[in-house]
Amino acid sequence: MRIVALAGGIGGARFLRGLREAIGPEDEITVIGNTGDDIHLYGLKVCPDLDTVMYTLGGGIHEEQGWGRTDETWSIKAEMKEYGVGPEWFGLGDRDFATHLVRSQMLTAGYTLSQVTEALCVRWRPGVRLLPMSDDRIETHVRITDEQGTRAIHFQEYWVRLHAAVDAEAIVPVGADTAKPAPGVLEAIAAADVILFPPSNPVVSIGTILAVPGIRTAVAAATAPVVGLSPIIGGAPVRGMADKVLAAVGVEATAEAVALNYGSRAALRDGTDEGGPGHREGLLDGWLVDTADESSVAAVEAGGIACRAVPLLMTDVPTTAEMARAALALAEQVRA
Ligand code: GDP
Ligand code: CA
């Protein structure tokens, strides 16, 4: 079975670790990773979400933090501070720096981000094929208003420095409109037997991947069933500040609202969705909510999306593998 998953950072990576446990030896996973969080620091290209997936699946992640390397040291950062060179708010440890050095060196030599990612994965052996969503530069920016007025800042500054404490007025994946999907991305979606949306951020992770021209349409048109897992449990994100970015796109922070915002593919198939102004292709055949959100199952199903309530807390790998099995089982049900 060929499984394709769209993934952000922590939520995506932890889910993938469970998914890898849940599949058989003949199954293969292709991950389409978000690169909208990418940032250039100290002349280096940093790809936080790709690295979180790579380190998590490769056994190098700082487990409690969910990002960065295990057993990290911080000499370079301290030295940079002595020079008065920041940003101080972004954590790049010494071991992590090596990844960004290799990546930047290869990009400067003319390799594409896909080629670089493949090369980095030779070391980490993540057990999945990890593709960046695009080889083109895309950086998510957030419009905010504070005492300095209204301006756009890099998503990392919004998330890491400001902790999303200011309202996000708009979220723009700068560069996405002219970007192309990376080689293999559309092919993997078209050839997939199952497409999964892990419990990643629906706006700045999955939403950004879908903003690359061609990807949303390819998912909507895929022959494979598309099943997602809710990152929202009991009306709040399990981790992070997804509610802030959901508010920016006018979506309530509930498992049900997130599913309905992705939309149902059934409408497209039975011809009830005729397109026209404001038309968006629906994406989901199935959706998993946590047992705490059992009461929202009926509303999601009324929206044309098959829905089940199962435990969705990724407390450990076996529990997460159980979530992945539930997603694959729902995919089989909607396929029939
Ligand atoms: P990021 O790029 O590091 O922010 O990671 P992702 O976009 O892949 O995932 C972030 C989302 O993961 C957040 O919206 C969280 O609510 C969600 N998340 C984190 N841990 C869990 C969990 O145990 N269960 C579920 N259902 N969602 C989770
Ligand atoms: Ca991210």
Q: At residue 280, does pLDDT exceed 80?
A: no
Write out pLDDT tens, residues 194-217. Answer: 999 999 999 999 999 999 999 999
- Ligand number nearest CA of 231 is 1
Q: For ligand 1, is residue 48 a contact (CB within 6 Å)?
A: no
Q: Which atom of ligand 1 is nearest to 236's Cα?
A: 16
Going by C-alpha positions, the residue among 205, 222, 128, 195 that lies closest to residue 330 is: 195
Going by C-alpha positions, the residue among 53, 68, 69 that lies closest to residue 121 is: 53
pLDDT band at 105 (very low <50, low <70, confident <90, very high): very high
Write out pLDDT tens, residues 119-131. Answer: 999 999 999 999 9
Domain ranges in the chain are: 2-136+177-335, 139-171
Going by C-alpha positions, the residue among 286, 291, 282 that lies closest to residue 261 is: 282
For the chain, where are the alpha helices, taking DSSP H only?
10-22, 48-58, 75-82, 94-108, 113-124, 155-156, 185-191, 206-210, 215-221, 242-248, 255-262, 266-269, 297-302, 317-335
Beta bridge partners of 284: 264
Find tokens 């055949």 and name the residue.
285
pLDDT for 273 equals 55
Q: CA distances (Å), 274 to each of 2, 58, 102, 260, in order?
A: 31, 45, 48, 18
Superfamily, domain 2-136+177-335: CofD-like domains (3.40.50.10680)
pLDDT band at 266 (very low <50, low <70, confident <90, very high): confident
Q: Which atom of ligand 1 is nearest to 242's Cα?
A: 14
| Residue 11 CA, ligand 2 centroid: distance in Å | 9
Q: For ligand 1, is residue 313 a contact (CB within 6 Å)?
A: yes
Phi-psi region of 53 (alpha: psi -120 to 50; beta: other; left: phi over 0): alpha
pLDDT for 336 equals 81
Torsion of CA 247, 253, 255, 256, to 10 degrees: -60
Instruction: Report DSSP letters for 246-300, one per residue.
Output: HHHTT--SSHHHHHHHH-BSHHHHTT-----TT-----BSEEEE-GGGGGGHHHH
